[in-house]
């Protein structure tokens, strides 16, 4: 008892519970980071369109025959963020952190937008130095999404389905992946940029 006659065990118990909760949260964050940085699987062979969408659970890609197409990925990112509905506000992740989560080819420019950790909404924009690098970067993005889906299945299963339905496209040297419930709007905005 303290000098006022109150029990301090209640305060000590609350402090211990707080410490345990912080430890669990830190363990989940570390586990999720490890899951998102694991190896790369090869996607299925490409099939024919200029710009194709492929769900994460059946990865694949196609390539545009328009090799000289130039797309302003910064503008595309702004267009997607302003026109597509996301469950959480997406913020661009620092380049060093983004490259720690998603290992792209040397010379590729990665733009990664993420929101609150309770939502799987994300936007990945990659500008590779050449077509071969773009193919490798898309494979990396597909594996990243598979790992992310496994993490969400463990603690927020309804968000995992959104990852399975992600829009995934490669055209020439560009890769675009968008995770959202507003997938039709995302497809429309993205495909328009590649016309």
pLDDT over 70 (residue 56): no
pLDDT over 80 (residue 113): yes
Q: pLDDT value at position 69?
A: 76
pTM of the model: 0.67
**The Cα angle at residue 71 between residues 68 and 77, in degrees rounded to 5:** 165
Q: Helix, strand or coil for residue 123? A: strand
**CA dist., res. 131 & res. 77, Å (int):** 21
Q: pLDDT value at position 1?
A: 55
Q: Exposed, middle or buried by CB within 10 Å (0-12, 13-18, 19+), for 23?
A: exposed
Per-residue pLDDT band for 4 (boundaries 50, 70, 90) equals low
Widest Cα–Cα separation across the chain: 81
Return the HEC string of 159-192.
HHHHHHCCEEEEECCEEEEEECCCHHHHHHHHHH
**CA dist., res. 195 & res. 192, Å (int):** 5
**CA dist., res. 32 & res. 151, Å (int):** 6
């Amino acid at each position: 008892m303290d000098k006022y006659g109150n029990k301090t065990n209640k305060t000590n118990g609350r402090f211990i519970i707080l410490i345990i909760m912080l430890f669990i949260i830190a363990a989940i964050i570390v586990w999720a980071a490890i899951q998102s940085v694991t190896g790369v699987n090869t996607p299925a062979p490409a099939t024919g369109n200029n710009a194709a969408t492929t769900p994460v659970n059946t990865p694949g890609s196609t390539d545009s025959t328009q090799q000289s197409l130039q797309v302003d990925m910064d503008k595309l990112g702004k267009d997607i963020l302003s026109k597509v509905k996301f469950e959480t506000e997406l913020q661009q992740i620092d380049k060093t952190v983004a490259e720690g989560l998603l290992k792209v080819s040397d010379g590729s420019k990665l733009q990664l937008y993420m929101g609150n950790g309770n939502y799987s909404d994300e936007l990945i924009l990659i500008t590779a130095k050449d077509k071969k690098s773009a193919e490798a970067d898309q494979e990396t993005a597909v594996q990243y999404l598979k790992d992310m889906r496994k993490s969400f299945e463990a603690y927020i299963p309804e968000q995992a389905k959104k990852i399975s339905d992600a829009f995934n496209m490669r055209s020439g040297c560009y890769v675009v992946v968008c995770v959202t419930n507003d997938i039709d709007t995302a497809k429309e905005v993205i495909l328009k940029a590649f016309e």
